[in-house]
Amino acid sequence: MPRLLMILATALLLWQPGVGTAAGPARSLDLRLGMSYAGVPVGKLRIQIALSGSQAKTQLDMESRGLAAMLTGYQGSATAQTHLAADGAPRSLRYDTFEETKRYNRKRVIRYDPATGGVLDVKSWKRGKLGQSKVPPQLWQGTTDPLTALLGMRHWLQAATKGGPRETALEVFDGGTRYTLRAELLEHTEIERGGRSLPVFHLKVRLVPIAGFNPRDTLGNWASEGEDRWIEVLLLDRAEPVPLLIRTRGGRLASTIELESLCTGSGGDDCVDYGS
């Protein structure tokens, strides 16, 4: 369940605000979201994005709530440091994650070559003991971390909304698992939310497990069951589009992440409530 929520949460970054260049002003984005499983609230999520010049920092924090907190005590965070080229193309610099439950804690760090974006080294600790990634080193290269990879997907989305390819794929490595995210832009439509009609982009995302998933992995098993297993993403169409809703489709896995509030601006002080 924790890995499921972490991977679903990174899908929230499928669309980012337009990134700054060296001449651009610093900006921030602060999203608060609720997570549920089979209709039962299980956690809260916060995503903070700081953009300044050619640098971006993305932080994702998750905490279980209610019955999930009583059973697992799960807390998790992930941070990505990213270099932004003049055209906004992102390149991973460093990725850190930390997860803690009642049974264990785990920390992972990936360092990248600042010139090429290639993986330099991966370190993993479980209960304070240094270990090794289950993903073989030959599968590390040609990938980016989840937050940076999804930050970069905005290039595809911008092109897709202007007549470019409506499908793309991302090769992702988080230090413990290796997978491909395949995304397709389905349509532009409107939905009702809180008495308002909101314009949204409708996306279909599939996760293809490659390495590092164990037999008990909920999301890996669900994604491998067939083509009808996919993740639905609704992106709010605004000046800086953001995720409004993410939910799994197909099979018995029923997980949902919904936007509750969004704060933007140079100080993150311009806030809008999106609670349903």
- pLDDT greater than 90 at residue 123: yes
- For residue 17, being part of any structural domain is answered with yes
CB-side exposure of 73: number of CA atoms within 13 Å? Answer: 6
- CA dist 63 and 75 (Å) reads 5
- CA dist 2 and 46 (Å) reads 15
pLDDT band at 78 (very low <50, low <70, confident <90, very high): very high
- DSSP labels for 158-173? HHHTTTS-SEEEEEEE
pLDDT band at 226 (very low <50, low <70, confident <90, very high): low
pTM: 0.85
- For residue 266, being part of any structural domain is answered with no
- pLDDT greater than 80 at residue 11: no
- For residue 271, being part of any structural domain is answered with no
- CA dist 173 and 81 (Å) reads 15
- For residue 274, being part of any structural domain is answered with no
Whether residue 266 contacts residue 30, with contact meaning beta carbons closer than 8 Å, is answered with no
pLDDT at 19: 41
- For residue 267, being part of any structural domain is answered with no
Average model confidence (pLDDT) for the chain?
Answer: 83
pLDDT band at 164 (very low <50, low <70, confident <90, very high): confident
Burial label for 226, CB within 10 Å (0-12, 13-18, 19+), is exposed
- For residue 275, being part of any structural domain is answered with no
pLDDT at 265: 72
Could you tell me how many residues make up the chain?
276
pLDDT at 145: 93
- For residue 276, being part of any structural domain is answered with no
From the list 133, 138, 207, the residue with the least C-alpha distance to 174 is: 133
In the chain, the number of structural domains is: 1
- For residue 269, being part of any structural domain is answered with no
Q: Please, where are the H alpha helices in the chain? A: 2-10, 66-72, 146-160, 218-223
Q: Percentage of the chain surpassing pLDDT 70?
A: 82
User: By residue range, what is the domain housing residue 211?
Assistant: 2-261
Task: Encode 197-254 in three state secondary structure.
Answer: EEEEEEEEEEEEEEECCCCCCHHHHHHCCCCCCEEEEEEECCCCCEEEEEEEECCCCC
